[in-house]
Amino acid sequence: MRTSATLPGPGPSAINLRPSRPTLVHAGLHQNVLVRRPVGSNEVRVIGGRLGGRRLVAAQGTTTRPTADRVREALFSRLESRYGLSDARVLDVFAGTGALAIEAVSRGAAGALCIESGKSALAALRRNVSALALERSVRVLAGDFRSALRAQAQAGATFDGVFVDAPYAKDLTRETLELLDAGALVAERGWVAAETSTREKPLPRVGRLVLQRQDAYGDTMLLLYERSGDATGEDARAGGIRTEAQEPQPTDVPEPKEKG
């Protein structure tokens, strides 16, 4: 049996991310914009949860691509309505400045593990974690995502949710999904939210990760996968992919099953 992920933080403290049960909360889009980016500023803000209004420092240069405001707003609305974030253990691959992981923790996630290799992004990420006093909730792993994911798999870690925002030009989304599935890093009925280019053809499933819906926002495609207990293609929800090419509207969703 796999155990819950324990994310050791700096020094003697450690984060024990206990297993969480998916929770269905109210459906509907948030009225507030998730992140408001002032013109000419390198800062963004956390809007939802206990850290709402706090500023985040963005990475310098052009190597880090922040997720657009409306995409983030729709993403967190969807995750909260379908799964809930309370006590969730989340993994942020290609974390950048940590905006997604920090927003998840702000909205109730028990803790987050951020993987990033870019020097500028790492500096901003660590500064944000320190400024918000999140050292006990957010752990930063510096280095290549492949070795980091394999190490987490070998340690027996599992996560309730994973953010994947890989560089578009390098086409790394599929490889990341394959590593997540092969390492059984996503908990039963856990989710993977991946941001890709609309030029990439979405994969309907990668092992036990089954595509639930896809939403296009200009050149950006937001994909939501869910881990099923079946890798043969017989999952009951595998054939019901929802596709949107505009701002998604609130929808009723089935309550997730309890974790086994």
pLDDT the model gives residue 106: 95
Task: Measure the CA–CA gap between 208 and 121, rounded to whole angstroms.
Answer: 31
Per-residue pLDDT at 115 exceeds 80: yes
SS3 255: coil
For domain 27-244, give the CATH superfamily. Vaccinia Virus protein VP39 (3.40.50.150)
pLDDT the model gives residue 231: 64
Task: Measure the CA–CA gap between 119 and 237, rounded to whole angstroms.
Answer: 40
Per-residue pLDDT at 91 exceeds 50: yes
Per-residue pLDDT at 29 exceeds 50: no
Per-residue pLDDT at 250 exceeds 50: no
**Residue 17 phi, psi dihedral angles, 5° rounding:** -90, 95
Q: What is the mean pLDDT of residues 144-158?
A: 97
* Choice between 159 and 71, residue whose per-residue pLDDT is larger: 159
pLDDT the model gives residue 72: 77
**Residue 92 phi, psi dihedral angles, 5° rounding:** -120, 105
Per-residue pLDDT at 48 exceeds 90: no
Q: If you average pLDDT over every residue of the chain, what do you get?
A: 78
The neighbour count for residue 255, using CB atoms within 10 Å, is: 9
Task: Measure the CA–CA gap between 228 and 115, rounded to whole angstroms.
Answer: 24
pLDDT the model gives residue 37: 37
